[in-house]
Amino acid sequence: MKILVIQGPNLNRLGKRTEFHYGAMTLEALNGVIRDYGDTIGFETDFLQSNHEGQLIDWIHESEKKYDAVLINPGAFTHYSYAIRDAIESVDIPFVEVHLSNIYERETFRHVSVIAPVCRKQVYGMKEKSYFDALDYLKTLL
């Protein structure tokens, strides 16, 4: 099983962003522990990151050719990108929405996800463990 992990805007700044919300790991370190966790449960993982909405949309469209499922952390696009929402809806493999922080205990604008209705599941608030949980969920689904 091949899983694509798409990291959205500002996640390349992990390690410099607020530790309370995001932890201390760099994106490279985070992707490393996700890869290791995936290996232990029998998933092959690939990783992409972009700060650009159009690039994320192109990757979402292409994902169904090569992958069985996608984990996506859309960053702040979560809260307002109808274009990313529509891209996910147009693709025929399962998507799981993942957040490091607890978006429901932060500013009210983060309480809304326009992405959630087109994803199979939303996982948040457990830092890197959010991604592990999302992989565990896919293990039961696929």
- The set of catalytic residues is 22, 99
Gap between the Cα atoms of 111 and 109, Å rounded = 6
Closer Cβ to ligand DQA, 66 or 111, answer by number: 111
Closer Cβ to ligand DQA, 100 or 135, answer by number: 100
Give min distance, CB of 103 to ligand DQA, in A: 5
**Residues in contact with ligand DQA by the rule CB under 6 A:** 10, 73, 75-76, 78, 99-101, 103, 110
Give min distance, CB of 64 to ligand DQA, in A: 23
Is the distance from CB of 70 to CB of 93 less than 8 angstroms? yes
Of 2, 3, 23, nearest in space to 14 by CA? 23
Instruction: Please tell me what DSSP assigns to residue 78.
Output: G
Closer Cβ to ligand DQA, 110 or 129, answer by number: 110
Of 60, 63, 94, nearest in space to 74 by CA? 60
Give min distance, CB of 124 to ligand DQA, in A: 7
3-class secondary-structure state, position 44: strand
